[in-house]
Amino acid sequence: MNGHLLVVAPGLHSTVQDLGRFGYQAYGVPVAGALDPIGLRLANAVAGNGAGRGEGRGALEFLYSGPTLEVAAAAVRVAASAEIEILSDPPRRIPPWQSVRLVCGERFRFGALPGASRGSVCGYLAVEGGFAIAPILGSQSTYVRGRIGGLEGRPLRAGDRLALALDSPGERGEVCLAAPPDLAPPARLRVVLGPQDDHFTQAALDAFLNQPFTVTPEADRMGLRLSGPRLDHARGFNIVSDGIATGAIQVPGSGQPIVLLADHQTTGGYPKIATVISADLPAAGRLKPGDEIGFAAVSVAEAQEVRRSLEAELGHRMRGLVAAHTPAVLNQAALYGGNLISGVVDGAGG
């Protein structure tokens, strides 16, 4: 029996997620998976799970405020997209995107989520080797509505145990990203128009591409409901159901768009005016209520090119980890230099 992480306090909505459950959408099973796959992949890489397959390993995703966890194992190596605050006396603070080896009995929680002053809605904690959780339909991702995956298909509760796959972390020095990624939300998400852009008036298309929308409080892992100019349908708001890709922006009768995220249904009967490109989906996943966002149209070929550039950049980051010699001093400077949020190292978070 390897050790586990004990959930002391669960946070607002903490679930195990990997890159998603693929191959079962024809049976109505949503993909689920990390809202921000970039956050998940980078945290995994820093925790020692490597670029390649390991970067998609199941990790803990937390929304708004993270959990408090206690190490119930000889030792474990972790890395997070947020500051890790180890509740020792005095407390130790590990910057985002830096690995740390924790020993039995140590408790830790998380600081403010990165992403400039507006903050990200989601954070990730990766552990070296991942969690010992049996995959359901090939994935550890939690799909709460269907009670599938993760820990009994639900968010964490106090007292839960997250079993560790490794009995002890590898013997090596701690590492961090050479520079933190810029996770600030863009002013505009790039989209490919369609598949049902021809169901909207020209005025609706113009408003969609030229006016800002605000993320409403009705935002969850299924989708972001936006409020903004009313997008009028040219010929009714019901279509015969067709398939839904992650990032599709459907517009129901209210004329207010919904950006469909990880937990979206596999099929649906509202016209979809556009689809967020895959390179910008992680940014969409980081948005939270009150954030303002616009949309810019690109071609499919441009979207694929942007995605290739993003993958090249991520690969470069994951292969270019550097030693974290003296975390308390050097990396603070690096973080400030990288324009990460203030509050990461001054204790304002948590």
Partner 1 sequence: MAAITQGPRFLPSGDTALVVEFGDRIDRGLSAAVIDLAERLRVADLGGVTETVPTFRSLLVHYDPLATSAERLIEQISGLIAGPIGDRAAAQASTRLWRIPACHEAGLAPDLAEVAATTGLTPDEVIALFGADRYHVYMVGFVAGFPYLGDLPEALRLPRRETPRVQVPAGSVAIAAGMAAVYPYESPGGWHLIGRTPAPLFDARAEPPALLRPGDAVLFEPIPKAEFERIARAVAKHDYALMPEALA
Binding positions for partner 1, rule: CB under 8 A: 22-30, 136-137, 145-149, 191-192, 194-196, 239-248, 265-268, 272, 275-278, 300-301, 303-304, 307-308, 311
Q: What's the closest the beta carbon of residue 30 comes to partner 1, in angstroms? A: 7
Q: Please calculate the CA angle 141-315-171 and round it to the nearest 5 degrees.
A: 75
**107-143 burial by CB neighbour count: b if 16+ within 10 A, else e?**
bbbbbbbbbeebbbbbbbbbbbbbbbbeebeebbbbb
Q: What's the closest the beta carbon of residue 295 comes to partner 1, in angstroms? A: 12
CA dist 350 and 348 (Å) reads 7
From the list 189, 180, 188, 186, the residue with the least C-alpha distance to 341 is 180
Cβ nearer to partner 1, comparing 27 with 326: 27
**In the chain, helix, strand, coil percent, each to 5?**
20, 30, 50
Do 46 and 101 form a contact (C-beta atoms < 8 A)?
Answer: no
Cβ nearer to partner 1, comparing 19 with 344: 19
Q: What's the closest the beta carbon of residue 347 comes to partner 1, in angstroms? A: 41
- Residue by residue, DSSP assigns 292-332 as EEEEEE--HHHHHHHHHHHHHHHHHHHH--EE-S-TTTHHH
The pair of structure tokens assigned to 348 is: 């304002």
Cβ nearer to partner 1, comparing 182 with 311: 311
Q: What's the closest the beta carbon of residue 311 comes to partner 1, in angstroms? A: 6
Cβ nearer to partner 1, comparing 66 with 149: 149
Cβ nearer to partner 1, comparing 21 with 93: 21
Cβ nearer to partner 1, comparing 136 with 176: 136
Q: What's the closest the beta carbon of residue 23 comes to partner 1, in angstroms? A: 5
Q: What's the closest the beta carbon of residue 158 comes to partner 1, in angstroms? A: 25
